[in-house]
Structure 1
Amino acid sequence: MNILGISAYYHDSAACLVLGGEIVAAAQEERFTRKKHDSAFPTHAIAYCLSQVGLTSKNIDYVVFYDKPFLKFERLLETYLAFAPRGFKSFVTSLPVWLKDKLFQKTMISKALAADLGGDIDWESKLLFSEHHLSHAASAFFPSPFHDAAVLTMDGVGEWTTTSLAIGSGNKLAVHKEIQFPHSLGLLYSAITYYTGFKVNSGEYKVMGLAPYGEPKYAKLIKDHLIDIKEDGSFHLDMSYFNYCTGLTMTNERFDSLFSGPRRAPESPLTQREMDLAASVQAVTEEVVIKLARGIKQSTGLKNLCLAGGVALNCVANGKLLREKVFENLWIQPAAGDAGGAVGAALGAYYSMLNQPRVMQDSDAMKGSYLGPEYDAADIANRLRLAGAVFSEVSQAEMIDVTARELAAGKAVGWHQGRMEFGPRALGGRSIIADPRSPAVQKQLNLKVKYRESFRPFAPSVLREDVSDWFDIDVDSPYMLLVADVAKSRQLEMTAEQHQLFGIDKLNVPRSEIPAVTHVDYSARIQTVHQKTNPLYYALISKFKELTGCPVLVNTSFNVRGEPIVCTPEDAFHCLMGTEIELLVVGNCLMRKEDQDPALIKDYKNAYELD
């Protein structure tokens, strides 16, 4: 059976192709269109998935959409009726969109498939719809290395559900418990994201990164007024403080009064209040996640837990959950947000609907999340020439040696190798990399390469066999979804004066032997690198270790602010020409910034809408 999974029309559209139960290709539409969080029908992602294995549209047995639009429309109507007459403005704003497009998505999707893949196929007969949280749960359980597991899904909202417990066993998966809209941990986090001046559905990472600069001074206020948390982790929000049910904003004037003022204007200076709010909502989120996990453990008795949904991308909460040892084993879907719904939709249909036997993998079935396009040597060279790049072609051994030496010399390197990653993290396929030992790298990369806020932390990529020597963690973290402290033996003692610093001033204090990847609370978002899943990246880090004694590299996504992660060699070259990256390595092609035509330089600082 060849099954195509699709997520679309909200944010982060994506496609995934499953052949005989194997995930063979998956990609987000944004990588091809260059529109961040593109919600359009994933025309380009579908075309890529089929081309990856040489299939045509006639080879597709089923197309599975990741949620049920009619149930979402039912929520819209019932929410309006529950709050009427409040919310009329929001209702009349969204209704035309639903009546024109979203309510008739079966017809829309069928027409889009016909336009892209051929009109001589009865696509409506092949089209299936999964429930949103079931798609998330399937994306976490079926690729996991577990025969039996509980699956906790947490996000903003699907059709109705915001938090769910599913139980998986073999090729069976069923949702057992739910918390429903408007009560949502994801939307609570998004409300604070909005209130602190960041963009909902993309700024939540910033809030998580900002949290260590603050103190959880508002955590009690949040729990006293905004969210009632039970011992089993179930919760209830006081909707009198929120506006997302009835208005066009996340919060209202009562929310403003609770926190003594209006929301921060986007792009205005950050104050200690925003840092403390970030720390507070992060602390509350961690409390809910851990209590939910304990409640699930008590009710199910299972030893394995899988996580999915947007909240599962909160790697700080994941790290705390791991250290609590509520479950023996934890596995998190690397594309835990809506893009991953395409994976779950396809796998759910293959196993649950078609009742196909499940073949277990030694680690997991996501293949390191390297599921996107790759380019051979001749294609890379041709694409770079057409883009106007000046480059040299070298052997693979020389490429590894030169790159490692340039990193050790302090250069920022664009690294474009192999298959592109699926999901929000760069994992050594489309990465900007640097020397973590430099105390200047964190600020320089933010301000001169990424063109983003200086407080944003960077992640370390570390050889799997060396992880426990450098970080306080002894398990795999291949998808950069777990946070742990830098090992005590690698930390630097702070002076009494340094301990007195607060807010952004904390940023200027080196805290370990690898300050570029050590956050102000001594934590790091860790990626363990394996020779089996990414041999080139493993070889590069190994060479860097040989030169420096350090088996760690700074790893951040290969993009600038406002753009998706690069996909093609041309994308990588354009990024080189719009940033202060000094060396670009695409396959075995090396490009130095100083060798390029100055006429091709682009001002990325002002080219994209700030997010």
Structure 2
Amino acid sequence: MNILGISAYYHDSAACLIQDGKLVAAGQEERWSRKKHDYRFPTHAVDYCLKEAGITVDQLDYVTFYDKPFLKFERLLETYLAFAPSGLKSFLMAMPLWIKEKLWLPDVIKKEMSFNGQVLFPEHHQSHAASAFFPSPYESAAILTMDGVGEWATTSWGVGRDNKIDLMAELHFPHSLGLLYSAFTYFTGFRVNSGEYKVMGLAPYGKPKYVDVILDNIMDLKEDGSFKMDMSYFNYCQGLTMTNGSFAELFDGPPRKPETQLTQREMDLAASVQKITEEVVMRTARHVHAETGEKNLVLAGGVALNCVSNGKLLREGPFENIWIQPAAGDAGGALGAALITWHQYLDNPRPLNGGKDLQTGSYLGPEFDQTAIEAFLTESGAVAKELTWADMPQKVADIISDEKVVGWFQGRMEFGPRALGSRSIIGDARSPKMQSVMNLKIKYRESFRPFAPSVLAERVSDYFETETESPYMLIVSEVKEELRREMTAEEQNFFGIEKLNVVRSEIPAVTHVDYSARVQTVHADTNPLYHQMIKAFEKNTGCGVIVNTSFNVRGEPIVCSPRDAYACFMRTEMDYLIMGNYLFAKEDQPKWREEGDWREEFELD
């Protein structure tokens, strides 16, 4: 039986295919369309999933969409009516897409795919919950989903057991932790639904001085994690911005204009909303634990991508184990929609995998074999040296040991927002200059942004204050105290961005200003080639940690194809590209010609 899950029309549209209950393929439309956070119908992703499964549309038994459009439309109408007439402009902007496509999704799906079978519509948070529980390694678990908003729900919790999920309580729009975080994202000058992780990265540079202001004025937070927000400070129900003048008055002036200088105020705002987020998550988790009695917790929804909060929940929370869906945002809704159809709707049993999850490293996207890479070489005129597969990991390890930056393009593309060693840019974690080089010369992004470590799974506790596996880069842990460098008296008085250039540990390129790191544990069973390369780097240097960042530049989706990878390589100051077992040296390449400034193609936030 073939079931296709789809998410679309908000942001990060995606498709996922399961075949007789097995997760076969998944991908985000942006990777093919090259439009970041593409919300349109995932035509390319659907085509890929069908091709990977070796089937045609006629062989699909069900197509499942990740939420209920009519219920979402009801919320939209009720909200606009409640705030009328002030929301008219926003209402008129939203209506064309609803009237043309969103309200006619069965017809749209049949038209876009030539599909004549049954289309199902679980609720948004059911899809999130299914994506969290069904691939998890647990027979039973508490479920917590938190995001901006689905139909009405913004937070939900419940229990998953065997092949069923049961959501028991919800928090409703407009009271939303995800939208609160997005409001501060907007106010600090970053793009909503894209820049939230920048706020998380900026938070350690500031002090949470606005926490009491938030709790005293705009958020009534209860002990069980539920809350209400004073909507007189917000504009997202009726307007085209997230906040209003009252919000600005409360937080010492107007919102920061994008691309202008970051000030201490923005850093303190980031620290404050991050602190609030952690407190809400902790209170909610304690309540859910008390109500369910479960020892395991699974998480999904956009808030579950807040890896700082996840790390605190793991260290200090009441649950023994947590598992987070790697595609926790709307893209993962496609996966959840397919799985809830297979297990809950069709009542098929749910297998367990001996304590391991069923997402197999989230390597669910397309793979390009030697034939495809060689065809690209012939077509493009690029110059590459073919290495033996046996020698390749050591050769790459030698290059990054010399503080060179390498684009790493191998195997199946990752599903979700993190690069996990298939479409990655890698470097030497010991290098004090690596963070600034990668940010400014390769990623073309803000200098304050931290990079993640890829660490051999069997060595994680040697470098970080954790023994927990973190294969999906969704948990923050502190660098081991014995690896930290003692700061001088002068350095201890630095504040704000001044903290950036202080070397803080023996692996400075992946040590954030608060000594934290967003850890990815690399496992020999799910990514053997990447593991071999890091192992070779460890043999060279004695260090089992490298820098890993996504293979893209600011404003562009992660690369998908050989053409995407080579273009990104040539547009930046990357030193080498390894694609399969072909090694590209920048100095050997023909002159790169491209009309205009490529960065103009993307909306740089």
Q: 1:432: which partner in 2?
A: 425
Deviation at 1:21, TM superposition (A): 1.1
Contact persistence 1:171–1:356 (CA under 8 A): yes
CA distance in 1, matches of 2:95, 2:566: 43
Q: Does 1:152 align with 2:144?
A: yes
Q: 1:349: which partner in 2?
A: 341
TM-score, normalised to structure 2, is 0.98
5 Å-filtered alignment, 1:321-470, equals: 321-362=313-354, 363-470=356-463
Deviation at 1:95, TM superposition (A): 2.2
Distance 1:491 1:604, change over 3 A: farther
Deviations 1:553-596 (A, max 9, x none): 10000001111000011111001110000000000000000000
Q: 2:84: which partner in 1?
A: 84
Deviations 1:125-177 (A, max 9, x none): x2111110000000000000011111100000001100000211000112110
Unaligned runs of 5+ in 1: 115-120
CA distance in 2, matches of 1:398, 1:474: 31
SS of residue matched to 1:91: helix
SS of residue matched to 1:434: strand
Tell me which amino acid in the other structure corresponds to 1:8. A
Q: 1:51: which partner in 2?
A: 51
Distance 1:590 1:294, change over 3 A: same
SS of residue matched to 1:322: helix
Contact persistence 2:456–2:531 (CA under 8 A): yes
Q: Does 1:507 align with 2:495?
A: no
Deviation at 1:376, TM superposition (A): 1.2
Q: 2:310: which partner in 1?
A: 318
CA distance in 2, matches of 1:60, 1:101: 22
CA distance in 2, matches of 1:21, 1:159: 27
Q: Does 1:30 align with 2:39?
A: no
CA distance in 2, matches of 1:570, 1:90: 39
- Aligned counterpart in structure 1 of residue 207 of structure 2, from 184, 209, 215: 215
Contact persistence 1:404–1:541 (CA under 8 A): yes
Tell me which amino acid in the other structure corresponds to 1:443. S
Tell me which amino acid in the other structure corresponds to 2:330. D
Percent identity, please.
Answer: 64
CA distance in 2, matches of 1:599, 1:134: 48
Q: 2:100: which partner in 1?
A: 100
CA distance in 2, matches of 1:272, 1:384: 48
Q: Does 1:244 align with 2:225?
A: no
Q: 1:599: which partner in 2?
A: 592
Contact persistence 1:5–1:17 (CA under 8 A): yes
SS of residue matched to 2:555: coil
More displaced stretch, 58-67 vs 518-527: 58-67
Q: 1:117: which partner in 2?
A: none
- Aligned counterpart in structure 2 of residue 196 of structure 1, from 182, 188, 192: 188
CA distance in 1, matches of 2:598, 2:534: 29
CA distance in 2, matches of 1:433, 1:384: 22
Deviation at 1:51, TM superposition (A): 1.1
Deviation at 1:601, TM superposition (A): 6.5
Q: 2:520: which partner in 1?
A: 527
Q: 2:12: which partner in 1?
A: 12
Tell me which amino acid in the other structure corresponds to 1:489. E
Contact persistence 2:485–2:506 (CA under 8 A): yes
- Aligned counterpart in structure 1 of residue 573 of structure 2, from 559, 565, 580: 580
SS of residue matched to 1:86: coil
Contact persistence 1:384–1:570 (CA under 8 A): no
Q: 1:256: which partner in 2?
A: 248
Deviations 1:291-342 (A, max 9, x none): 0000001111111100000000000000000011410110000000000000
Q: 1:540: which partner in 2?
A: 533
CA distance in 1, matches of 2:201, 2:598: 23
Tell me which amino acid in the other structure corresponds to 2:386. E
Count of matched residue positions in the alignment of Structure 1 and Structure 2: 603
TM-score, normalised to structure 1, is 0.97
Q: Does 1:495 align with 2:488?
A: yes
Q: 2:602: which partner in 1?
A: 608
CA distance in 2, matches of 1:596, 1:35: 27
Contact persistence 1:137–1:308 (CA under 8 A): yes
CA distance in 2, matches of 1:13, 1:375: 23
SS of residue matched to 2:477: strand
Deviation at 1:86, TM superposition (A): 2.7
SS of residue matched to 1:528: strand
Contact persistence 2:419–2:551 (CA under 8 A): yes
Deviation at 1:607, TM superposition (A): 4.5
- Aligned counterpart in structure 1 of residue 226 of structure 2, from 229, 234, 243: 234
- Aligned counterpart in structure 2 of residue 272 of structure 1, from 264, 268, 272: 264
CA distance in 1, matches of 2:260, 2:142: 43
SS of residue matched to 1:406: helix
Deviations 1:250-307 (A, max 9, x none): 0001001101210000000100000000000000000000000000011111111000
CA distance in 2, matches of 1:599, 1:163: 48
CA distance in 2, matches of 1:391, 1:99: 51
Deviation at 1:604, TM superposition (A): 4.5
CA distance in 1, matches of 2:428, 2:97: 48
Q: 1:118: which partner in 2?
A: none
SS of residue matched to 1:577: helix
CA distance in 2, matches of 1:287, 1:20: 41
Give the RMSD, CA atoms, in angstroms. 1.1
5 Å-filtered alignment, 1:51-200, equals: 51-114=51-114, 121-123=115-117, 126-200=118-192
SS of residue matched to 1:380: helix
Tell me which amino acid in the other structure corresponds to 1:103. L
Deviation at 1:489, TM superposition (A): 1.1
Q: 2:273: which partner in 1?
A: 281
Deviation at 1:94, TM superposition (A): 1.7
Tell me which amino acid in the other structure corresponds to 2:31. R
Tell me which amino acid in the other structure corresponds to 1:148. S
CA distance in 2, matches of 1:241, 1:254: 5
SS of residue matched to 1:600: coil
Contact persistence 2:236–2:242 (CA under 8 A): yes
Contact persistence 2:407–2:426 (CA under 8 A): yes
Deviation at 1:85, TM superposition (A): 2.9
Deviation at 1:227, TM superposition (A): 1.1
Tell me which amino acid in the other structure corresponds to 1:448. K
Deviation at 1:53, TM superposition (A): 2.4
CA distance in 2, matches of 1:75, 1:260: 33
More displaced stretch, 593-602 vs 424-433: 593-602
CA distance in 2, matches of 1:542, 1:217: 43
Contact persistence 1:384–1:569 (CA under 8 A): no
Deviation at 1:211, TM superposition (A): 0.2
Distance 1:96 1:570, change over 3 A: closer
Deviation at 1:87, TM superposition (A): 1.6
CA distance in 1, matches of 2:592, 2:316: 55
Deviations 1:50-94 (A, max 9, x none): 111211122211000000110111001111222223322222222
More displaced stretch, 78-87 vs 188-197: 78-87
Tell me which amino acid in the other structure corresponds to 2:537. F
Deviation at 1:606, TM superposition (A): 4.7
CA distance in 2, matches of 1:433, 1:401: 14
CA distance in 2, matches of 1:403, 1:604: 28
CA distance in 1, matches of 2:386, 2:286: 55
Contact persistence 2:282–2:317 (CA under 8 A): no
